[in-house]
Amino acid sequence: MSLLIVGTVAFDSIDTPFGSSDTILGGAATFIGLSASLLQVPNAIISVVGGDFPEEYLEMLKTKGTDTSGIEIIPTGKTFFWHGKYHHDMNSRDTLTTEVNVLADFEPKVPKSWKSPDVLLLGNLHPSIQLQVLQQLDQRPNCVILDTMNFWMDSAWDQLLEVIAKVDILTINDEEARQLSGEYSLLKAARKILNMGPKSLIIKKGEHGALLFHDNHIFSAPALLLEEVYDPTGAGDTFAGGFAAYLAKNRKYDFSSMKTAIIYGSALASFTVEKFGTEKLQSLTREELAERLKAFKNLTQYDMVLEQQNQNK
């Protein structure tokens, strides 16, 4: 079992109604790698950072279980930086600063030992970078998962469609599903998107959970109700990481496995939002995760007795 990850490793600065973070460790691949390590799935990150990136961050990722040999360090460059501010409802945010820095000229290089992963997770980056990674592999992974966002729909439409056509599973949010398909109904949107190539589609709905579409099957996963959402940054990446790692761990990619994988991703994401950045993921224990998985199960279980209907047919 193995998971290869391409995505950002970055600095974040986050303002919320509850307070502000310093410049802290962020980036999609960071959240994904930590999630995979928590599920004890061997994983490696393909990314790029600048000379300003603390060695201790790389050490931490390594200690947790991530192979960081694919994270290129450009000594003269600066690491990608994002500064964002969340509004009171914590569902909307403004980007105050984006410094692309070393990511502007990023040319991903997959290490030799990682050219045949079980699962490849193409984190949210320019579609051409995602394509380059796919092309560098010795063989097609058992499962390729693509995470993207509206930004690439606006700026790299053709390349995005090219990479979408090559993956097994696409994860986007509800607004992005509508933009990608031109359909308001998520059911119609999903049908159109599945015709673009992916075998499965996950629509993330934030505090309203997630939907999984595969052939004619639909699964609706709830989101856990949280006392307080402290910092939503990285929740979507954690979700994708937990989802991908669960599949890689069990090496089964059918509808049933994907459903359980979504619950794992949702459970992990529910921890990420409890503290700033990766803080909670770094300290999370497998016992806490097991407890939360049970809470998810309790949230949706019900008894359905259909006899009364059948008697009256």
Interacting residue ranges for its own copies, rule: CB under 8 A: 40, 88-89, 184-188, 205, 208-209, 211, 217-223, 225-229, 249, 256, 259-260, 262-263, 286-287, 289-290, 293-294, 296-300, 302-306, 308-310, 312-313
Question: Nearest approach, Cβ of 297 to its own copies (angstroms)?
Answer: 5
Q: Which one, 140 or 286, has the nearer CB to its own copies?
A: 286
Question: In the bound complex, what is the minimum distance in angstroms from residue 309's beta carbon to its own copies?
Answer: 4
Read off the tokens for 181.
């398909």
Cβ closest to its own copies, residue 158 vs residue 228: 228
**What count of Cα atoms within 13 Å lies in the side-chain half-sphere of residue 139?**
5
Question: CB of residue 263 vs its own copies: minimum separation in angstroms?
Answer: 6
Query: Both tokens of residue 230?
Result: 């402290």
User: To the nearest whole angstrom, how small is the minimum distance from the Cβ of residue 5 to its own copies?
Assistant: 21
* Structure tokens that stand for 130 in this block: 């995602």
In one letter, which amino acid is 183? E
What pairing do the DSSP bridges indicate for beta strands 66-67 and 24-26?
A: unpaired
* Residue closer to its own copies (CB basis): 107 or 228: 228
Q: Which residue's CB is nearer to its own copies, number 188 or number 275?
A: 188
Question: 55 vs 307, which CB is nearer to its own copies?
Answer: 307
Q: Which is nearer to its own copies, 134 or 221 (CB)?
A: 221
Q: How far is CA 100 from CA 5, 20, 117, 160, 180, in A?
A: 19, 22, 28, 20, 25
Contacts of 219 (CB under 8 A, 6+ apart): 211, 212, 255, 258, 259, 262
Closest CA to 67 of 131, 111, 123: 111
Alpha-carbon distance 142 to 177, whole Å?
Answer: 25
